[in-house]
Amino acid sequence: MAESRPRAAGSAVAWWRAFRQVRHEARGESLAGLLFVGPAVLLFLTFNAYPIVRGLVIAFSDYRYLVPDHAPFNAVDNWYEMVRDRVFWQSFGRSLQYTAIYFVLNFVLAFFVAVLISQIGQAREAGVYRVMAYLPVILPAAIALLVWRQFLNPEFGYIAVLLKGLFGSEVAKVLRDARAVVPTLAVIAAWKAMGSNVLLLLVGLYSINSELYEAAAIDGAGWWRRLMHITIPLLLPTFTVIFVLAAGVLGEAEASLIYYGLTDAGPEGAGRLVGRYAYEVAFLQGDLRWGYAAAINLTVGLTSMAISGLVFRALRSGRM
């Protein structure tokens, strides 16, 4: 089967090849091509490609939206400021913690759920479980976070009542603690995203040849050894995809903006993840410093790309 998911390195190579060849291509069905591809490309260029490129330019300027005609190019001055910006470093640290918790939870639980579902022989029953696991993914972000907000409400939420009942009201105070903010947001975000990882892993699991397991069973390999020596090695490509997608949440802003609202960043500001900080700088504070906010986003984006690149290489080499 052809490659079914775009990959950064692969598409760069393919792009370069296409670029080199374009002069030698025949015109072929240019009119039909224009009619089929044209509308989509036009829309894409206007509302997607242009803002991405323009956004990169903004990151190297001191663009302040509320100051009229003020967008001077300032090279890397934004980064000089960022290095000394304590709020940036704090929020960046929170985002790293957030991403780590998000990833571990997401990955471990999704893996176990997927393995268990893949062992259900009845097709209908397995279908029901797949739908259940995917339900949180389809919920609107705002609804999902508001539901959890009710669920975790320190006074009447179900979790609070449960904690009080089991461990007493001292433990239940955890729900108000500033240190609990980042883990809470990460748990909710992982809950919301896990279903798509379950499906990705299931696609991988279903495509493993069952004869491998039979042969291993005949050779005396138990459940655990089959998991370690067949399932996990053959799922490594899927793991890579999940790692890369998880690294993408480093700059996430939505969860905190919905959970605590626009004006409040949670107890002691602990809900200010770096994505939220950039949003505040760009749209809520002072004269809306778009240049600085774009520079923050660019830093975060490059960091998450670097993380996923490292993971990709590590898993690649561990595969042999």
Partner 1 sequence: MANSATVVPVLTLRRRTLGEVGYAWYERYRGGVAARLLLWLLLLYFLAPIIWTIASSLKTRAELFQATPSFITLNPTLANYQYALKRLTGFEIFFRNSLIVTLGATALQTVLATLAGYGFARLRFRGRDLIFYTMVMLIFVPRAGGLMAQYELMSFLHLRNSLTGLILAFSAGLAVPVFIMRQAFLNLPPDFEDAALIDGCNRFQAFWYVMAPMATGAMMVVALFEFIRVWGEYLFTLTMIDQRELFTLGIGMAMQFLGVSMEFGEFTSYGAQAAAFVMASAPVAAFFLATQRWFVRGLMEGLKF
**Footprint on residues 150-179 left by partner 1 (CB under 8 A):** 150-151, 156, 158, 161, 165
* Binding of residue 261 to partner 1 (CB under 8 A): yes
Backbone angles phi, psi at 132, to 5 degrees: -60, -45
Q: What CA–CA distances, in Å, run from 113 to 100, 126, 195, 275? A: 20, 11, 9, 30
**CB of 177 or CB of 301, closer to partner 1:** 301
In whole angstroms, the minimum distance from the beta carbon of 289 to partner 1 comes to 10
Instruction: Return the structure tokens found at 42.
Output: 């036009």
* Binding of residue 68 to partner 1 (CB under 8 A): no
Q: How far is residue 188's CA from residue 86's CA, in Å, rounded to a whole number? A: 27
From 89-97, 176-184, 191-199, 266-274, give the range in contact with partner 1 by CB under 8 A.
191-199
Q: Which residue do the tokens 């009619």 mark?
A: 35
* Binding of residue 263 to partner 1 (CB under 8 A): yes
**CB of 2 or CB of 320, closer to partner 1:** 2
Rounded to 5 degrees, what angle do the CA atoms 121, 123, 128 make?
A: 110
* Binding of residue 127 to partner 1 (CB under 8 A): yes
Residues 21-60 that bind partner 1 (CB under 8 A): 21-22, 25-30, 32-37, 39-41, 43-44, 46-59
The DSSP code for 208 is S
Q: How far is residue 88's CA from residue 147's CA, in Å, rounded to a whole number? A: 30
Rounded to 5 degrees, what angle do the CA atoms 79, 80, 85 make?
A: 85
In whole angstroms, the minimum distance from the beta carbon of 69 to partner 1 comes to 13
Residues 233-252 that bind partner 1 (CB under 8 A): 241
CB 185 within 8 A of CB 123: no
* Binding of residue 69 to partner 1 (CB under 8 A): no
In whole angstroms, the minimum distance from the beta carbon of 278 to partner 1 comes to 9
* Binding of residue 224 to partner 1 (CB under 8 A): no
- Residue 239: closest CA among 201, 193, 195: 201
* Binding of residue 253 to partner 1 (CB under 8 A): yes
